[in-house]
Amino acid sequence: MSIITLRESITQALREEMSLDENVFIMGCDVGLRGNPFGITKGLMKEFGEKRVIDTPISEAAFTGLGVGAAIAGMRPLVEILYADWITLPMDNIVNTAAKTSYMFGGQANVPIVIRAPFGVGGGVAAQHSQNNENWFVHVPGLKVITPSTPYDMKGMLKSAIRDNGPVICFEHKRNYSIKGEVPDGEYLVPIGKANIRKAGTDCTIVAYSYMTYVAEEAAKELEKEGISCEVIDLRSLLPLDYDTVMESVKKTSRVVVVTEAPLRGSIAGEIVGEIIDRGFDLLDAPPQRVGSKNSPVAYNEGLEAMCTPKKEDIIAAVRKTFE
Amino acid sequence: MKNSKCIEELKKEFDAYTDMYLPEGLGREEQLKMYSTMWVMRKFEEAVKPLWMANKVHGYYHPYITEEAIGTGIISQLKKEDYIGSTHRGHGHLIAKGGDINKMMAELFGKEEGYNHGRGGSMHITDMSVGMLGASGIVGAAVAPAVGSALKSWIKGTDDVTVVFFGDGGANAGSVSESMNMAAAWKLPVIFVCENNQWAIATDYTRITGEPDLYKRGIGFGIPSYRCDGFNIYQIWETAKAAIERARAGEGPTFIECKTMRMLGHHATDDSWYRDMSVCDKYWEIEPIKRMGEFMIEENIATQEELDAIEQEAIKKVEASIEYADTQCHEPSLDSFYDYIYTDGEVIK
Ligand SMILES: Cc1ncc(C[n+]2csc(CCOP(=O)(O)OP(=O)(O)O)c2C)c(N)n1
């Protein structure tokens, strides 16, 4: 075991998978010489050469499309979109090609691509560098969407994603990069589609993912003091989504709060609540609650930016509401 | 010329570097005005870095320092009704188009009185009242909309012109090529200005392009295309003048590559570790403000005293803008959270 940052856990996953499989390669703006703005791919170009860590032009639509094609042709590309906001540019090749190829061609071709996209609010960098757009992809059959939040999960699940034979988008919250945690020294995998109970509890289930799991844990700690025991579930993967773990928990607590950092309208929080109602309306003692960002672009001004996203207090209030 | 040795050396390395000369039709007053505009740009941005360090300004801030001759030489010839499309490096473009540096500084401070009411910050600085179409944080994304404003002029039959700026990095975005094709097909009144500072963050542009002469991309679309020395405001002015006249006359787009050099880090905290900054030593000798000043003195267009006074005035203007933003402006009210998401004051929560 060693204690490393989530950022380092990604580097480890990339390095290990590149060493294991010569078809794995990395592509994106400034991933090579500079090692990506967050330092994640630093040194990999030296280690693996310029054909395995490729610096691209600022041509997201094209280089992601190239990645999709390379994947169809048998490679395992790791494409990086420097900020998830710009995933709009290669949207066509992700949605219409990567997600649909296997199905349309009757299984004759796979697209084993992983698209890594740093996302989320923070740092006062305004509306085009702050989005939570994971929800758009959960709507697209044929894709997988993962959002691991601890160094352990990130390394293990990213490795699973690289070995997956279909397209996977990995959303990495920028605020999670410097979070530290224990990571085993040897090889291990975390399966895609399995949630993790981050904190056990008996009175109310809080379902969250990515950065919001940390905020939810803080809320749970505070509620503990008032005698409300919350179970915090880290979904880790949004598509597929582990409803078995969610429903097990709801069975136990009979109350649920779903948290997302995305604007609440049209977000996966509503989808999760819908599914919980379908699967176990009778298990519930109170209407499920949703917590998310305000339905607004993210402002440059730090006061307005902070106002946008859910706080510990919002989650606490939502949990309390399930007891009214 | 004082800097002639440098120029000769640079010319040997690359043939884009040119001698200064006075183009026909460029008067003394206009030169002094451009010189002053460049100083305001320079002093504004020199002032921002310490403010950023002091946490008065946050987010991403990308200086236009040493690229001032491009925006100035081109935009200063536009009328108010003409449009400009900008980049993440847009402070200079806005100053040249006649923007208000008090409002710009207030925006960088995130204040309500700022151009974008604290919503946008440096990367999105915009003043529609002077025809600035809005700076985008998405590289290359401002080009197609700017060709759209040229489309409007074409549909309406006005003689308004649009100038759109993008970097060597932005030039590679797909929609830039796609919109160049339409501009050429329909002879739209737009001027594509590629500010080739040779770097896209840490990527030397020659590593990611097959043809280092970016202006040749215009030729492929049937667009008259030129290259200018980005440190030579006179050549830029003259090239732009012809392009603007052509656009106004309905003769279609022009592509101008201005070859310059990014002499600082990409943004406030970038120390450029990935490149050899000593390359820039020579370029500092021919940076555009210094070079224009030296030329005007040698040609007896202006005196040193006049030029010094212009610089001092720029410093004062900038100091006043900081004073304004810091002491006279306000944080946006949290009650205004939903403002501007929809037009006409509509609030959809
Ligand atoms: C679509 C997109 N991809 C990547 C980025 C990150 N980025 C910001 S500025 C920049 C470099 C831009 O280079 P260039 O267009 O040459 O302009 P310069 O900064 O050199 O003036 C990059 C890659 C971005 N903002 N948008």
Residue B44 is assigned to a structural domain of this protein: no
Report if residue B51 sits inside a domain. Answer: no
User: Which tokens sit at A168?
Assistant: 């996977």
Cβ–Cβ under 8 Å, residues A124 and B108: no
Interface list for chain A against chain B, based on CB atoms closer than 8 Å:
29-30, 33-34, 37, 55-59, 61-62, 85-86, 89, 123-129, 294-297, 299-304, 307-308
- Chain A CB contacts of B334 under 8 Å are 303-304, 307
CA separation (Å) from A159 to A14, A136, A156? 8, 23, 5
Q: Do the domains spanning A2-183 and A196-321 agree at the CATH topology level?
A: yes
> Within a domain: residue B245?
yes
Query: Is there a domain that residue B132 lies in?
Result: yes
Query: What DSSP string runs through A120-182?
Result: ---SS--TTS----HHHHHTSTT-EEE---SHHHHHHHHHHHHH-SS-EEEEEEGGGTT-EEE
* Surface of B (261-300) touching A: CB under 8 A: 274
pLDDT of residue B15: 67
Q: What is the pLDDT along chain A (324 residues), one digit of tens a residue?
A: 999 999 999 999 999 999 999 999 999 999 999 999 899 999 999 999 999 999 999 999 999 999 999 999 999 999 999 999 999 999 999 999 999 999 999 999 999 999 999 999 999 999 999 999 999 999 999 999 999 999 999 999 999 999 999 999 999 999 999 999 999 988 999 999 999 999 999 999 999 999 999 999 999 999 999 999 999 999 999 999 999 999 999 999 999 999 999 999 999 999 999 999 999 999 999 999 999 999 999 999 999 999 999 999 999 999 999 999
Candidates 2.60.40.10, 3.40.50.970, 3.40.720.10, 1.20.58.390; CATH matching A2-183: 3.40.50.970
Tens digit of pLDDT for each residue in B258-306?
A: 999 999 999 988 999 999 999 898 889 889 999 999 999 999 999 999 9
Please, how many CA atoms are within 13 Å of residue A112, restricted to the half-sphere of its CB?
17
Q: Are B145 and B65 in contact (CB under 8 A)?
A: no
State the CB neighbour count (10 A cutoff) for residue A240: 14
Q: Which run of H or of E encompasses A279?
A: helix A268-280
Which residue in A297, A225, A284 sits closest to A257, CA to CA?
A: A284
DSSP one-letter string for B63-109: --TT-HHHHHHHHTTS-TTSEEE--TT-HHHHHHTT--HHHHHHHHT
The yes/no answer on whether domain A196-321 falls in CATH 1.10.1420.10 is no
Based on the residue annotation, tell me whether A129 is a catalytic residue of this protein: yes
Residue type, B306: E
Residue B323: its H or E element: helix B304-323
For residue B1, is pLDDT > 60? no
Residue B174 has its nearest CB partner, among A61, A128, A300, at: A61
Q: Which chain B residue lies closest to A61 (C-alpha atoms)?
A: B174
Question: Total structural domains in chain B?
Answer: 1
Identify the CATH number of the domain in which residue B79 sits: 3.40.50.970
Cα separation, B112 vs A1, in Å, equals 50
- In the chain, the amino acid numbered A98 is A
Provide the residue range defining the domain that includes B148.
Answer: 4-26+65-102+123-299
> Does B40 reside within a domain?
no
Please state, in angstroms and rounded to a whole number, the distance separating the CA atoms of residues A49 and A13.
Answer: 17
Distance from the CA of A149 to the center of ligand 1, in angstroms? Answer: 28
Q: Percent of chain B scored above 70 by pLDDT?
A: 96
Kind and range of the H or E run holding A280: helix A268-280
| B14 part of a folded domain | yes
B104 vs A: CB within 8 A: no
Amino acid type, B75: I
pLDDT of the residue at B4: 62
Task: Give a yes or no: residue B276 inside a domain.
Answer: yes
For A95-149, what is each residue's pLDDT tens digit?
999 999 999 999 999 999 999 999 999 999 999 999 999 999 999 999 999 999 9
Digit-coded pLDDT (tens) for B320-343: 999 999 999 999 999 999 999 999
Q: Which amino acid is at B146?
A: A
Residue carrying structure tokens 């787009």 = B253
Q: How many CA atoms within 13 Å lie on the side-chain side of A173?
A: 23
pLDDT at B212: 93
Asked if residue B265 is part of any domain, the answer here is: yes
pLDDT at B13: 66
The model's pTM: 0.95
Alpha helices of B221-261 — where are they, by DSSP H?
233-248
Ligand 1 pocket by Cβ (under 6 Å):
A 29, 58, 60, 82, 86, 89; B 62, 88-89, 137-139, 167-170, 197, 199-201, 262, 266
Say if residue A240 is preceded by a cis peptide, omega within 30 of 0.
yes
The pLDDT value recorded for residue B344 is 87
Sign of the Cα pseudo-torsion (B13, B255, B19, B272, in order): negative
Tokens of residue B96, six digits: 């040249």
What six digits make up the tokens of B217? 């991309």
